[in-house]
Amino acid sequence: MTDETIQPPRPLEGLRVIDLTRALAGPYATLLLAGLGAEVIKVEDPRGGDLARENSPYVGRDGVVVERQHDDDVSISHLTRARGKYGVSLNLKSPEAAGIFADLVRDADIVVENFSAGVADRLGVGYAAARAVNPRIVYCSLSGFGADAPEGGKAMDVIIQALSGAMYTSGEPGHPPVRFGVPIADMLAPVFSVIGILAAIEQRHRTGVGQHVDVSMLGALTSFVAIENWSAMAAAGMESRTGLTVQRLSPFGVFACADGYVALVAVHEKLAQGLFRAMGQPELGQNPRFSGRDVRVANANDLEARINAWSQTLPTAEVVRLLEAEGVPVAPVRHPEDALVDPRVMARGETMSVAHPTYSSTVDLRTSGVPIKFSGARIGFDEALAIRVGEHNQDVYGRLMGYAPEEIAALTARGAI
Amino acid sequence: MTDETIQPPRPLEGLRVIDLTRALAGPYATLLLAGLGAEVIKVEDPRGGDLARENSPYVGRDGVVVERQHDDDVSISHLTRARGKYGVSLNLKSPEAAGIFADLVRDADIVVENFSAGVADRLGVGYAAARAVNPRIVYCSLSGFGADAPEGGKAMDVIIQALSGAMYTSGEPGHPPVRFGVPIADMLAPVFSVIGILAAIEQRHRTGVGQHVDVSMLGALTSFVAIENWSAMAAAGMESRTGLTVQRLSPFGVFACADGYVALVAVHEKLAQGLFRAMGQPELGQNPRFSGRDVRVANANDLEARINAWSQTLPTAEVVRLLEAEGVPVAPVRHPEDALVDPRVMARGETMSVAHPTYSSTVDLRTSGVPIKFSGARIGFDEALAIRVGEHNQDVYGRLMGYAPEEIAALTARGAI
């Protein structure tokens, strides 16, 4: 027996990522790669680092606070997004930057950046520069409208949500658009970036060379919106924006309880009969207005009113219990705080806790995991987390790249790193 | 010169996928794999096939219709989701199914299924059965709560949305929850499934063996919701559900115009001053209530009211023009029909048209593409599309697997395929 714990490998072990990303979209891509086992080296400007370091709230010796109180308070966004990443500093505008970038890329497999379109090339850290030193490099650009877009503007999540059509898919017909509370545009593009990167790595096994992978936030979100048949539904005279319920599948959607809401689905005959029994009104199953899918759809307003009249009188838990007993798919509408601590989700690592490296917090700072389980591999983040900008300069520039200590000191003194 | 067009390869060429999926979540995963160049063989029950074949609306000789009129009317859902997939029939409950499944899996790289947890094993087409004939197989299960869940219930998108907390991230504080109009739970799990499959394929290059990849719809969506610091925001007394605007970043969010809405972001000083100039009220930049980020946040209600009072008097296009002229990030809130035909998105293949193989339609049936561009590869779907269940039986069972014509005829006659 030994003290060593034999852990399964992670799927992407052996791949090295040079991470030039900032804010949310890019860092979420490299976070997924880190959790899958790639070695991620996050490059930050020595003059302040990733802007997400300034995101409120913070955690530190006084617990969770809205405004930074102490030097060692850390933004919870940073604690979340920098997990498992080695942090080096590099001023991309310094005269030494091109050479240091080339050294970083020479032995890497992947570069990820999310500057505005064209900026990486102008800084000398674009795909052309990376390929020149390493033709095997897979270089991923993540931008608002694509690497080929003329726009130089910043693409924020809410701007992309507005352009994508997503805001007019939720809410009641005729009501204002709805902003998704999850930054869906910032999150989807990186997920597609990871698919693109891994597909290019697979192609590299055949060809021996890398390539440029280019993902647009607008394109990623619009492609999601496009899965519904919007133009066909409009052409067929079907209502596409339908609020809390979908009447063409009635009963389907969200209904009010005395203390909250439930989602339920009873489209098919057997389920509808089960719903009517749970409501204590089994006779509705013989009522010509509700017996059969087509008439339920035709009388959806009446049916929904009857369901709400019943469910509004009962606690959510009771409505769930009664419907589950009849085999009708049902769930309480939960708040994020409750959803994140679902034991199933915690056990599978789909949500995970983060913590300040020094100070404990009474609040469980629960955040995203990597929602994939492998039978022959594990998901997990290295201990690495650059609290300080350039925290792993010695390790990366010294141990990994062979820079001499005096060279690192000189680069630091000149502000290059 | 020849008539041949030299096309770049697709990244996943050479990988074969056996696709046991139905409905939306699973088929979207294999759609992405097909677009990336994998050879996808979709397996359907000869007694009717994928339920999505019955999804309204349909397209055919009478154009787009709500109810099926003719035998050759095709569900637009099917036209969308079956693109580029070869279709074979196989009755998984027939005595011949285990042997035929083994023949399919023997030379495949990937299997994807989205039965309820446990069902694939019970049918004899689970990971254990696949691995027994092909240890290199990467087998992906996509289910509501994970392959290890005791629940046997069906996990519909709206049920998972309710459980994930997503419904309480949108909308105004104190208002009912908001159902996302995009089936986000059905769409996210497959995207993570593709990441898991490609990561397992990468690991296979090192180890020579495949593994089981297990993705939960609840876990995938909850991990997205968890990127926001819900527990920390609650602990710090910050409002987390904030409707159309985010007052802690004011001005940020969606504002009303005379004929629609715009999204705008003017968090930083320079942008705020640009907004005030666009409003024709540059003096607000010197007003102690609005000069400086902290006071704008403190007076967010007043600021938002002033912005709306201005924007409501103008057409959306004019508000966009005025703000763009000042360099303020702004966009019109578009409807899906308009978003899907954005020339940038069409040019990049992020949305694509589908069509009935025989009948043309006056409606542009625009749907999801694969939102990734590669410099050394292309995205694209094979012409294959199984309008009939088992349409490619001869091609797959005959040409690919070497079954004799009389064997295929006998299997068909017995209802096995």
For CA atoms B366, B367, B371, B374, the dihedral sign is: negative
End-to-end CA distance of chain A: 45
B150 domain residue, yes or no: yes
A375 domain residue, yes or no: yes
**Yes or no, beta carbons of A180 and B169 under 8 Å apart:** yes
Give the pLDDT score at A194: 98
Q: Indicate if A311 and A405 belong to the same structural domain.
A: no
Preceding omega of B332 cis (within 30 degrees of 0) = no
| Burial of A342 from C-beta contacts in 10 A (0-12 / 13-18 / 19+) | buried
Q: What is the mean pLDDT of chain B?
A: 95
CA distances from A356 to A51, A65, A253, B152, B223 (A): 18, 13, 40, 39, 20
Indicate which CATH number applies to the domain containing A191.
3.40.50.10540
In which residue are the tokens 């995009």 written?
B182
Give the pLDDT score at A34: 98
Q: What is the dihedral of CA A126, A127, A131, A132, to 10 degrees?
A: -40
Cα B155 vs. chain centroid, distance in angstroms? Answer: 17
**Yes or no, beta carbons of A241 and B181 under 8 Å apart:** yes
Give the pLDDT score at A2: 43
Average pLDDT over residues B160-172: 96
- Taking alpha carbons only, the member of B46, B190, B14 closest to residue B113 is B190
Q: Which domain, by its residues, includes A192?
A: 16-225+346-413
Catalytic residue among A186, A214, A294, A302: A186
B338 domain residue, yes or no: no
**Yes or no, beta carbons of A11 and B200 under 8 Å apart:** yes
Q: Indicate if A108 and A167 belong to the same structural domain.
A: yes
Q: Indicate if A208 and A276 belong to the same structural domain.
A: no
Q: Is the pLDDT of residue B2 over 50?
A: no
Is the CB of residue B371 less than 8 Å from the CB of residue B28? no
Catalytic residue among B186, B338, B364, B395: B186
- Taking alpha carbons only, the member of B124, B165, B121, B128 closest to residue B143 is B121
Domain-terminating residue out of B332, B360, B393 = B332
Domain-terminating residue out of B269, B299, B332 = B332
Bridge partners (DSSP) of residue A373 are B214
Side by side, which strands form the sheet with B74-75? B63-65, B58-60, B74-75
Alpha-carbon distance B89 to nearest alpha carbon in chain A (angstroms)? 25
CA distances from B275 to B279, B298, B304, B310, B311 (A): 6, 18, 12, 11, 11
The bridge status of strand B261-265 relative to strand B330-332 is antiparallel
Is the CB of residue B78 less than 8 Å from the CB of residue B21? no
CB atoms < 10 A from the CB of B135, how many? 12
Is the CB of residue B267 less than 8 Å from the CB of residue B249? yes
B162 domain residue, yes or no: yes
Specify the amino acid at residue A133: V
Nearest residue of chain A to residue B373 (CA atoms): A214
Q: Is the pLDDT of residue B1 over 60?
A: no
Query: For residue B291, what are the contacts with CB-CB under 8 A and spacing of at least 6?
Result: B284, B285
Specify the amino acid at residue A121: D
Domain total in chain B: 2
Lowest mean pLDDT among A160-174, B169-183, B237-251: B237-251
Sequential DSSP letters for B80-91 = HHTTTEEEEE--
The bridge status of strand B138-143 relative to strand B110-113 is parallel
ipTM given for this complex? 0.97
**Yes or no, beta carbons of A348 and B180 under 8 Å apart:** no
Indicate which CATH number applies to the domain containing B304.
3.30.1540.10
Identify from A168, A211, A326 which residue to disrupt to test chain B contact, counting B C-beta atoms within 10 A and taking the largest count. A168
Q: Tokens at residue A329, please?
A: 């798919």
Q: Looking at chain B, how many residues does it have? A: 417
Residue B167 with chain A: CB contacts under 8 Å: 254, 261, 263, 333
For chain B, how many helices (H) and strands (E)?
Answer: 17, 15
d(CA B42, CA B27): 9
Give the pLDDT score at B62: 92
Average pLDDT over residues B203-228: 97
- Give A282's DSSP letter: G
Per-residue pLDDT of chain A (417 residues; tens, 9 = 90+): 344 567 899 999 999 999 999 999 999 999 999 999 999 999 999 999 998 999 889 999 999 998 899 999 999 999 999 999 999 999 999 999 999 999 999 999 999 999 998 899 999 999 999 999 999 999 999 999 999 888 656 789 999 999 999 999 999 989 999 999 999 999 999 999 999 999 999 999 999 999 999 999 999 999 999 999 898 888 888 888 999 999 989 999 999 999 999 999 999 999 999 999 999 999 999 999 999 999 999 999 999 999 999 999 999 999 999 999 999 999 999 999 999 999 999 999 999 999 999 998 888 999 999 999 999 999 999 999 999 999 999 999 999 999 999 999 999 999 999
Q: Indicate if B321 and B360 belong to the same structural domain.
A: no
Give the pLDDT score at A5: 64
Bridge partners (DSSP) of residue A262 are A255, A332
Give the pLDDT score at A152: 59
- Taking alpha carbons only, the member of B230, B148, B157, B170 closest to residue A340 is B230
Q: Indicate if A101 and A220 belong to the same structural domain.
A: yes
The percent of residues in chain B predicted with pLDDT above 70, rounded, is 98
Query: For residue A107, what are the contacts with CB-CB under 8 A and spacing of at least 6?
Result: A16, A134
Give the pLDDT score at B235: 85
Preceding omega of A251 cis (within 30 degrees of 0) = yes
What ranges make up the beta strands (E) of B234-332? 252-256, 261-265, 330-332
Bridge partners (DSSP) of residue B252 are B265
Judge whether B109 counts as a catalytic residue.
no
A400 domain residue, yes or no: yes
Alpha-carbon distance B3 to nearest alpha carbon in chain A (angstroms)? 26
Q: Indicate if A25 and A161 belong to the same structural domain.
A: yes
B49 domain residue, yes or no: yes
Decide which of B56 and B402 is more confident: B402
| Phi and psi angles of residue B262, each rounded to the nearest 5 degrees, phi first | -125, 155
Give the pLDDT score at A3: 46
Q: Indicate if B193 and B266 belong to the same structural domain.
A: no
Q: Indicate if B137 and B219 belong to the same structural domain.
A: yes
Q: Quick check: helix, strand or coil at residue A136?
A: coil
A145 domain residue, yes or no: yes
Residue A38 with chain B: CB contacts under 8 Å: none
Q: Indicate if A176 and A48 belong to the same structural domain.
A: yes
Cβ burial B88-115 (10 Å sphere, 16+ → b, else e): bbbbbebeebeebbbbbbeebbbbbbbb
Bridge partners (DSSP) of residue A16 are A39
Domain-terminating residue out of A332, A354, A372 = A332
**Run of H or E residues at B43:** strand B39-44
Q: Indicate if A134 and A106 belong to the same structural domain.
A: yes
Q: Indicate if A174 and A93 belong to the same structural domain.
A: yes
- Taking alpha carbons only, the member of B369, B372, B371, B393 closest to residue B381 is B369
Preceding omega of B57 cis (within 30 degrees of 0) = yes
Specify the amino acid at residue B216: S
- Give A55's DSSP letter: P
Is the CB of residue B11 less than 8 Å from the CB of residue A203? yes
A379 domain residue, yes or no: yes
Q: Looking at chain A, how many residues does it have? A: 417
Q: Indicate if A286 and A354 belong to the same structural domain.
A: no
